[in-house]
Amino acid sequence: MFTVKTISVIEMTMDSKARYRFRRMLDDLEDKRGRGTELISVYISPDTDLAKVIQQLRDEQGTASNIKSKSTRKNVTAALERIIQFLRTYSETNRKPPSHGMAIFCGNVAGREDIADIKLYWIEPPEPITIRMYRCDQEFVLEPLREMLQVKETVGLLVMDRREATLATLRGKNVNIVRKLTSAVPGKHSKGGQSARRFERLREIAAHEYAKRVAEAANEIFSQVSSLKAIVVGGPGPTKEDFLNSGLLYESVKRKVAGVLDTGYTDEQGIKELVSKAGDVLADLEILKEKSLMQRFMEELVAGGGLATYGEREIRHALEQGAVELLLVSEGLRKNRATIRCQNCGHEFQETVENLGSYQRQLTTRDCPKCSEEKLSVTEIQDEVQELLDRAEKFNTKVEFISTETEEGKQLQAAFKGLAAILRFKAIT
């Protein structure tokens, strides 16, 4: 039996809700496994001619006919045909791929040789796809999409010495060289017969004018970047430290400086060197943010004023009243919200489930809480975090995801079951 599943298009802006949906979607795809090399991944960039993609897939069908395993050959051929049909239907109403391109995943995900369950998933990602790819393997190729989950705030980069300076921005893995400046600072030795003291004074004046030009460029460039998360400064020697202590930078710009690192170069090579060394600095910023959020929650909890709560039931209660200002969710939280219905009396209720398979087996022997008959069955399953995000959205509740790699993240996961909240006002019991 052949079935098709289409994944909804992701919102173009990666807010917390869209980011979680995207991550969970990739986790679901990562769980899919083929019996052989029968799972197909196709990446289509925005400027790709769909007719050429369809022709390439037709050619791949011919190649697939040489696969020795009969079941693998059959499943690969069927998956290719499914993708071709999908692209033909899509191209009837859309002459070009979506503005960010698309990723298509298709194959037999039944995990059994005696069953063919061909499913197709397609995603328009939150950022443009920059590669073209066709891959047939035992698992779907997800790394290009995983990279889009990395922090995408802009980081300002500045490398300098007394000779030159280079300013750039870093967003994700994309480095943009914005401006290059050179100085008129003379060397340490004079050839004009001037006194050493006068020559040194001229050097200092030239150095100050050069520093002013670098500061003007940094103030102009970095002040205009609304998504600027941090600035990292690099270069050989003490020039960079002297520059930061000169008072020439706007205070709003200087506050963004998160690290000062030594580099051997001050040109584009120096920017690359700075990027390679800045990873720990930027990672520390994320950790500090999580520490600050969890510290705020713990302070409210210890204060005992009722403006912090945890536990699924308590948080749901507070969300229903619009009392939650900030919801903290562990990135490791993986549960489902099940709607259960009694087939005898029609009574419905909801429960949170970790292992859906074992839960459904246990449900067959449970009595209905209303009529006491063993007629309970699951009618709907929803991702628990997604449901909580939907509830939070109704009351403009801010949501922050906390990683499981920090001590604070581990504490949220272990001590508070992955959920905590800071309240606007004390929830009515």
- Looking at residue 9, its pLDDT comes to 40
Strands (E) across 161-199 are located at 164-171, 174-182
Fold that domain 288-423 belongs to in CATH:
60s Ribosomal Protein L30; Chain: A; (3.30.1330)
User: Count of CB atoms within 10 A of residue 37's CB?
Assistant: 17
Longest dimension (CA), the chain: 106
Q: Say which residues have a Cβ less than 8 Å from residue 390's Cβ, sequence separation at least 6.
A: none
DSSP per-residue letters across 345-394 = T--EEEEEES-HHHHHHHHTTPPPTTT--S-EEEEEEEEHHHHHHHHHHH
The pLDDT profile of the chain, 429 residues, written as one tens digit per residue, is 333 344 444 433 456 667 788 888 898 899 898 888 899 999 999 999 999 999 999 999 999 988 888 888 999 999 999 999 999 999 988 888 999 999 999 999 887 767 788 999 999 888 889 999 999 999 999 999 988 876 567 899 999 998 999 999 987 667 899 999 998 766 665 455 556 677 677 778 888 999 999 999 999 999 998 888 899 999 999 999 999 999 999 999 999 998 999 999 999 999 999 988 887 777 777 777 788 899 999 999 999 999 999 999 999 999 999 999 999 999 888 899 999 999 999 999 999 998 888 888 888 889 999 999 999 999 999 899 989 998 998 999 999 988 887 788 889 999 999 999 999 999 887
Residue extent(s) of CATH 3.30.960.10 domains in the chain: 16-149
Domain with CATH 3.30.420.60 in the chain: 158-277
| Structural class in CATH, domain 158-277 | alpha beta
329 three-state secondary structure: strand
**DSSP state, 2?**
B
Q: In what order do the strands lie in the sheet with 164-171?
A: 174-182, 164-171, 154-160, 228-235, 257-262
pLDDT of res. 1? 32
Q: Which residues, 6+ apart, have CB-to-CB distance to 317 below 8 Å? A: 427, 429
Q: What is the CATH number of domain 16-149?
A: 3.30.960.10
How, if at all, do strands 228-235 and 257-262 pair? parallel
One DSSP character per residue, 74-99 reads HHHHHHHHHHHHHHHHHHHH-SS--T
Provide the phi-psi class of 265: left if phi over 0, else alpha when psi is between -120 and 50, else beta.
Answer: beta
Cα separation, 196 vs 215, in Å, equals 28
Amino acid 199: pLDDT = 64
Beginning with the edge strand found earlier in the chain, give each strand of the sheet holding 118-123 in spatial order.
118-123, 102-108, 39-44, 133-137
Output the pLDDT for position 65. 87
Q: Are 354 and 335 in contact (CB under 8 A)?
A: yes
pLDDT in the model for residue 137: 93
- Please give the distance of CA 268 from its chain centroid, rounded to a whole number: 27
Phi, psi of 266 (to 5 degrees): -130, 10
SS3 223: helix
For the chain, residues classed under CATH 3.30.1330.30 are: 288-423
Two structure tokens written together for 403: 């990683």
